[in-house]
Structure 1
Amino acid sequence: MKPEETVDFHIKSAWHAISRMYNQKAVEQGFTTSIGFVLININSKEGTPATKIAPLMGMEARSLTRILKSMEEKGLIFRQPDLVDKRSVRIFLTLEGKRKKDLSVATIKGFNEAVRELVSEEELEQFVKVFQRINQVIENQIIADN
């Protein structure tokens, strides 16, 4: 079987292309795709508990810690103790962080609008259904392996 005949080849190549595109846009603005995704997951008004961000993004807490440190150094976020739970820390966006978040959201919306111009609503619905089924296969495989 040739690589281009496999399902994962097309998923991986599309994701790499999307990732390169997002990275290129982010670099033009002085940050990274990872930072952009973190910014999107921080509530602009209320902040977000640091412990909630990693699960929202499906990443390890250690990886997030490095990204948050970098974001703090770049002046995109600041940390504050949670007023209700003193053991917890909330992450808030600075004005520059909010500006970069807006750029990230605009980039994602622009990409989605461009896709929707070329792909019909029906095709997108099928696309989502196929990916839901692929995720079922993965979940079933994980269960079967245990």
Structure 2
Amino acid sequence: MRDKTLDYILRTTWMSISKMYNEQAATKGSTMATGFALISIDPENGTPSTALGPKMGMEATSLSRTLKMMEDKGLIERKRNPEDGRSVLIHLTDFGQDMREFSKEVVKTFDKKVREEIEAEKIKTFLEVAYKINEIVCSKKIFKKQTILATK
């Protein structure tokens, strides 16, 4: 894999993790996206629906589909925000709370196993590199408008 690009390694690694999470979620009739949403919802106060998309890095359309499916399965309920009647808070049902705990355990199990297999110093370096890569990508300095326009 040494001759592969960074994005290839990141992409294939994430695809493997995603597949693993989806396999675990499937044992409960769920998906990784649902588990991630459950973990992202404040279990006590609910979460504004408008805050979930940015928190999860999901587009509004995908998030709407996920929330609709979660509501249909009885994992969440939508309630008016008492502080702002124009917005909606997403609350977990009892079933949603149970599934949230299952999702958290899956994530914790993965994290624990990786930390058992890889030295703490290497994990620290990996996290520093991953945060830096994210910072570089989010800075939008890689592909400037001039570069993109110049290729047309």
Paired position in structure 1 for 2:9: 10
Answer whether contact 2:136 2:142 (CA < 8 A) is retained: no
Which structure 2 residues correspond to residues 1-146 of structure 1 after superposition, within 5 A? 4-140=3-139, 142=141, 144-146=143-145
Shift of 1:9: 1.4
Shift in CA distance, 115/43, structure 1 to aligned 2, threshold 3 Å: same
More helix as a share of residues: 1
Question: For residue 33 of structure 1, what is the amino acid of its counterpart?
Answer: M
Question: For residue 27 of structure 2, what is the amino acid of its counterpart?
Answer: E
Question: For residue 108 of structure 1, what is the amino acid of its counterpart?
Answer: V
Secondary structure at 1:86's aligned position in 2?
Answer: strand
TM-score (norm 1): 0.92
TM-score (norm 2): 0.89
CA distance in 1, matches of 2:48, 2:106: 25
Shift of 1:92: 0.4
Structure 2: state its 5+ residue gaps: 146-152
Identity, % of aligned pairs? 40
Q: Which deviates more, 18-27 or 135-144?
A: 135-144
Shift of 1:78: 0.4
CA RMSD of aligned residues (A): 1.7
Answer whether contact 1:3 1:9 (CA < 8 A) is retained: no
Shift of 1:5: 2.2
Q: Deviations over 1:57-110 (max 9, x none)?
A: 111111111111100000000011011100011000001100110000000000
Aligned length: 145
Secondary structure at 2:86's aligned position in 1?
Answer: coil
